[in-house]
Amino acid sequence: MQRGDWEKAARLYREYLRDHPHDILSLRHLAEIECYKFGQYPPCASHADTLFALMPIDSEGIAVAAYAHTMLARQAGARKDSARARAEMDRVVDIYYQAGYVSYMQENHRQAEALLQRVHRLRPRDVRTLLRLGILYWTLDKADSALAWFRRAEAVDSNNEDALVNQIVVYHERGRIDDALAIYRKLTALRKRLYPDSVFVEPIDTTRRKPVLDYRGSKFDRYGPIGSF
């Protein structure tokens, strides 16, 4: 297809989207033309972000959104605009993380793993990704891998309670009670240091057969880690 044909296609997609702004196929095709054919990264990023918001597990949409913001980051870097470059790369990381999280929630574990591993390569010290990878491998009954990711999260942020609570859950489920108690003592010491005036409850109910791992934020639940994503 010649450039004139691509320009005509782009014009027709834009006209269609004026009346149908949430048409996923049109958004995807227009963003791909703008990015891959014309190098028009700002409008590509805008259309790709809209597509991503509508369909965060669309592999082509994920790819074009990440590509657009990566190219915008490179352009900002060439202009010595480091703040804009960081913001654009943060957006790339966020795209991959959100897509990985949604894929995990929809039990598409293979895609979730690939996307979260991509985030990890871009941001090796991103604690939320380390925790989410641990949760993913726990879900896949890969306890050793889950523990490794939770320990990495703790190594990056020694004050992260989720990293400790999730280790307790895995150790307890695997019958490694001494290890679970050791982490529990570490968690208790951390909480006393962070919240000296608070009254604490048990981080997990040890009578549960398989507690659920997830983020708890600043909330505590005597039945185990609770979601606050």
CB atoms within 10 A of CB 215: 18
Domain boundary among 123, 152, 184: 123
Structure tokens at 152: 């990495």
Quick one: 65 and 160 in the same domain? no
Q: What is the mean pLDDT of the chain?
A: 88
Residue 82 has pLDDT above 50, yes or no: yes
Domain boundary among 123, 148, 175: 123
* This model's pTM is above 0.75: yes
pLDDT of residue 221: 37
Quick one: 95 and 149 in the same domain? no
Averaged pLDDT for residues 159-164: 95
Higher confidence at residue 2 or residue 185? 185
Quick one: 8 and 77 in the same domain? yes
CATH code, 210: 1.25.40.10
pLDDT of residue 195: 84
CA distances from 50 to 22, 30, 43, 66 (A): 8, 12, 11, 13
Quick one: 166 and 212 in the same domain? yes
Query: How far is Cα 56 from Cα 116, in angstroms, rounded to an integer?
Result: 14
Question: How would residue 4 be classed by pLDDT, with cut points 50, 70 and 90?
Answer: confident
pLDDT of residue 222: 34
Least confident stretch, 98-107, 112-121, 218-227: 218-227
Quick one: 172 and 224 in the same domain? yes
CB atoms within 10 A of CB 200: 12
Domain range for 33: 1-123
Domain boundary among 71, 104, 123: 123
Least confident stretch, 55-59, 135-139, 199-203: 199-203
Residue 144 has pLDDT above 80, yes or no: yes
Quick one: 51 and 140 in the same domain? no
- The label of the residue with tokens 């669309």 reads 58
Quick one: 5 and 114 in the same domain? yes
Query: How far is Cα 51 from Cα 115, in angstroms, rounded to an integer?
Result: 17
Quick one: 102 and 153 in the same domain? no
Kindly report, residue by residue over 173-224, the tens digit of the pLDDT.
999 999 999 999 999 999 888 888 766 545 555 555 554 555 443 333 333 3
Alpha helices in the chain (DSSP H): 3-19, 24-32, 41-54, 59-78, 82-105, 109-122, 127-139, 143-156, 161-173, 177-194
CA distances from 188 to 24, 153, 167, 210 (A): 49, 18, 14, 22
Query: How far is Cα 128 from Cα 199, in angstroms, rounded to an integer?
Result: 26
Quick one: 152 and 39 in the same domain? no
Length of the chain: 229
Written as one letter, the residue type at 70 is: T
Quick one: 71 and 103 in the same domain? yes
What's the domain count of the chain? 2
Quick one: 11 and 115 in the same domain? yes
Higher confidence at residue 100 or residue 212? 100
